[in-house]
Amino acid sequence: MATMEQLANLINGQQVSAHSGKWLDNVEPATGAVYSQIPHSDQTDINAAVTAANNAFAEWSAMPVAKRSAHLQALADLLEENLEDFAHAESIDTGKPVSLARTVDIPRAVANLRFFAAAVAHTQSDAYFTDNHAINYTLRKPVGVAGCISPWNLPLYLFTWKIAPALAIGCTVVGKPSEITPMTAHKLGALTIDAGFPQGVLNIVHGSGATAGAALVEHPDVPAISFTGGTVTGQAIARTAGPMLKKLALELGGKNPFIVFEDANMPEALDHAIRAAFTNQGQICLCGSRIFVQRSRYDEFVAGMIERAQDFKPGDPLDHETRFGSLVSAEHKQKVCSYIQLAKDEGGTIECGGKEPDADALPPRVRGGCFLEPTIITGLNAQCRTNQEEIFGPVTTIMPFDHEEEVLQRANGTPYGLAAMLWTNDLDRAHRIAGQLDAGTVWVNCWLLRDLRVPFGGMKQSGLGREGGTEALHFFTEPKNICIRVRHN
């Protein structure tokens, strides 16, 4: 029997097991089989990683910017060279189609590293000439050891989205990837050794959120925590980090509206709505999971969505033709199924999907996997739980609306405020509505178009603070104002 691969922590430039010698199983969701194990790290491992990061901080933060950038670029080069290998690993680990991993996740992870490697060279510091008698300028120093905690849905993309700005600005890092999808972060850690990163600059500790994650948040020598994940976890982290007065960036859940006005370009709106609903099996925080369509075009839109959903046939994620893979775990699939049942109980009509694919619709290799058909539900009101709570799976509802004010109120009527999509050809309306939507990002006539320079984050229960561009670099610094009096004899 082949031996099971055992992943390693990266601490002080060494690949090591958990101090306790304990392991957690890592499952391939498309088959349901355990295929590797990760260190079940605890406080002892976190302490070792923080010590290593602290020891590396003085040299890394004092290093010329061009040299730090070069390290990040070297890592990006290696990741790009190994794109196929990483895409394969991400597909096995997450259940997402390998075609998505190789065209989106891994290239975007490379882009994150390159973007922050370049952006840090162009950071500016504010300076003010104060009424002719003083100059104020802001010195921004890296804050120290940054704790970066990432989720399972876009594991490498979101891990690099956090560590790249932290490292670029001069922080050292202890990263805690999701225990559900640890593989690509593990492989990235190995690449940092090949890229010649100084020891201790990037440390990666695997393990559960309750043990390794909590120990990182609680550690007194980690002054900044950048977290992406669920709202409930974010609230728990805030309860610990708040009283310790840590810097905190929280990127949390969403329940994003996708609003289609009657004047929209319908084929385009439909093509984007279907992608926004079902890409990565609906497991993207920015997915549009509540679709509002102006009544005159409602029936046509529902029919168009049902027709297009047929293109998202569940298949083996490792098959390059597959567009729709497995959910990330049996537990998560169970949660999504419970919401489909809830939607029925609340009086919804399942227009398509709503169940597992028939066994013979899947290739034999993946018949034990966590598959669900893309599901479209109508007939629900905006206030029911199905339309209020984050499902985070291949489930979208469609509702008709009549007026602007009505749709604005319903779109804004959830606790979340991460993203919103708006389809119209009326320029005035686009600006009018976009400005009033409760969302950190509003996409007008597009979805998931990203510019890494803009602030990214959520309103209300979707988060605290902003990542992206300068905001991300600034997050990892402690600004200090220096005021110099100008004497006039």
Intra-chain end-to-end CA distance of the chain, in Å:
86
CB closest to ligand NAD, residue no: 209
Shortest reach from residue 209's CB to ligand NAD, in Å: 2
Binding segment for ligand NAD (CB under 6 A), chosen from 36-44, 245-253, 366-374, 427-435, is 245-253
| 153 touches ligand NAD by CB under 6 A | yes
Rounded Cα distance, 344 and 365, in Å = 32
Alpha helices for 39-103 (secondary structure H) = 43-62, 65-81, 83-94, 98-100
Helices and strands of the chain, counted as H and E runs: 16, 23
Do 164 and 202 meet the contact criterion of CB atoms below 8 Å apart?
no
Burial bucket for residue 343 (CB in 10 Å: 0-12, 13-18, 19+)? buried
Among 210, 303, 484, 486, binds ligand NAD (CB under 6 A): 210
Interhelix angle 404-412/427-436, rounded to 10 degrees, is 30
Among 418, 439, 452, 472, binds ligand NAD (CB under 6 A): 418
Among 40, 102, 176, 219, binds ligand NAD (CB under 6 A): 176
Among 57, 60, 152, 292, binds ligand NAD (CB under 6 A): 152
Task: Report strand pairing: 256-260 vs 247-251.
Answer: unpaired
Shortest reach from residue 235's CB to ligand NAD, in Å: 10
Minimum CB distance to ligand NAD smaller for 32 or for 230? 230
Minimum CB distance to ligand NAD smaller for 68 or for 290? 290
Shortest reach from residue 328's CB to ligand NAD, in Å: 8
DSSP structure string for 95-118: ---HHHIIIIIHHHHHHHHHHHHH
Among 95, 144, 151, 189, binds ligand NAD (CB under 6 A): 151
Minimum CB distance to ligand NAD smaller for 375 or for 462? 462
Residue 112 tokens read as 């994150």
| Residue 486: φ, ψ to 5° | -105, 115
x/- letters, 261..300, toward ligand NAD (CB under 6 A): ------------------------x---------------
Shortest reach from residue 70's CB to ligand NAD, in Å: 29
| 165 touches ligand NAD by CB under 6 A | no
Rounded Cα distance, 393 and 283, in Å = 5
Minimum CB distance to ligand NAD smaller for 251 or for 373? 251
Q: In the annotation, is 285 catalytic?
A: yes
Q: CA-based Rg of the chain, rounded to a whole angstrom?
A: 23
In the chain, the amino acid numbered 390 is E
Minimum CB distance to ligand NAD smaller for 68 or for 162? 162
Binding segment for ligand NAD (CB under 6 A), chosen from 20-28, 123-131, 231-239, 257-265, is 231-239
Rounded Cα distance, 139 and 51, in Å = 26
Among 213, 288, 325, 348, binds ligand NAD (CB under 6 A): 213
In the set 28, 148, 179, 285, the catalytic residue is 285
Binders of ligand NAD among 441-470, rule CB under 6 A?
A: 458, 462-463
User: Whose CA is closest to 405, among 294, 249, 310, 268?
Assistant: 294
Among 107, 230, 400, 415, binds ligand NAD (CB under 6 A): 230
| 229 touches ligand NAD by CB under 6 A | yes
Residue 264: C-alpha distances to residues 102, 376, 400, 405, 436 (Å): 32, 21, 15, 18, 19
Rounded Cα distance, 465 and 198, in Å = 30
Residue partners of 433: CB distance under 8 A and separation at least 6: 259, 404, 408, 422, 424
In the set 251, 373, 390, 467, the catalytic residue is 251
Q: In the annotation, is 268 catalytic?
A: no
Binders of ligand NAD among 341-400, rule CB under 6 A?
A: 390, 392
Shortest reach from residue 221's CB to ligand NAD, in Å: 16
Binding segment for ligand NAD (CB under 6 A), chosen from 9-17, 133-141, 194-202, 210-218, is 210-218
Among 50, 217, 241, 473, binds ligand NAD (CB under 6 A): 217
Rounded Cα distance, 390 and 336, in Å = 10
Residue 431: C-alpha distances to residues 60, 129, 297 (Å): 44, 36, 22
Rounded Cα distance, 170 and 57, in Å = 8
Shortest reach from residue 218's CB to ligand NAD, in Å: 9
Q: Residues interacting with ligand NAD, by CB under 6 A?
A: 149-153, 158, 176, 178-179, 208-210, 213-214, 217, 228-230, 233, 236-237, 251-254, 285, 390, 392, 418, 458, 462-463
List residues with catalytic annotation.
251, 285
